[in-house]
Amino acid sequence: MLTKDQIQFTDRYLEKSGIKYMDIRQEMTDHVATALENEEGDFYENFRQYMVQHKQGLMQSNRYFKKLALRRAFGILKNIVLKPVFWFMAMVIFMVSYTAKQYDITGDTVMYSLEMAGNVIPMMLNLYFIYYWIFKKEVHSVLMRLLLFMYFGAFIFRIPIISHNTNFLTGYYALYISFYILLIQSVWQLNQQYKLRYND
């Protein structure tokens, strides 16, 4: 069995080789450790010889795992849209907003509130993304892809809509807000899974 220092050496080597996602790197570190733990002789010489023979295969596996992470991230996004709770939440937000507009004398208060909510939620997500990207030392593959979607999606989906129809805008904000609320929940759940699995 490899020592803690040898495992850390393997992990650092893989990280410097371009395998930056902690979950992928740990899987590969375990794979390398299993291959080397029964080898006789000096660990570092065995490690060097192993990498001469298998490094290219590890890099290919890294690319494959990143593609799997992207597919899993898109799967999570698709599942959000397919969840009945997404449509129920959007319908409730729409109906409450539509009803409130009937009692809104100026006609602007409800729309302003929806627009503010549509701005604040992505802003909070962007701050979390910046924190995660700059201050977190360990980056996980699927989680980072979801955070990237939240970061860029907040800009893409907030492009001003060419419409003055308040019912259309109310529906848009209802879907937008509901989607991001469930996305926050998915990110939190995934982060908890990573913490349990990798003791992060």
- CA angle, corner 98, sides to 95 and 100, nearest 5? 105
Which amino acid is present at 102?
Q
Residues of the chain with pLDDT under 50: none
For the stretch 131-165, what's the b/e string if a residue is b when 16 or more beta carbons lie within 10 angstroms of its beta carbon?
ebeeeeeebbbbbbbbbebbbebbeeeeeeeeeee
Q: What's the pLDDT at 162?
A: 61
With a CB cutoff of 8 Å and minimum separation 6, the contacts of 183 are 77, 80, 125, 146, 149, 150
Q: What are the boundaries of each domain within the chain?
A: 4-66, 83-198
What secondary structure letter does DSSP report for 18? T
Q: What's the pLDDT at 39?
A: 82
User: How far is it, in rounded angstroms, from Cα 18 to Cα 10?
Assistant: 13
Q: What's the pLDDT at 142?
A: 87
Instruction: Tell me which long-range contacts 20-25 makes (C-beta under 8 A, separation of at least 24).
Output: 20/139, 21/65, 21/66, 21/69, 21/139, 21/140, 21/141, 21/144, 22/138, 22/139, 22/140, 22/198, 22/200, 23/140, 23/141, 23/142, 23/194, 23/197, 23/198, 24/62, 24/65, 24/66, 24/69, 24/141
Q: Output the six-digit token pair for 196.
A: 């349990």
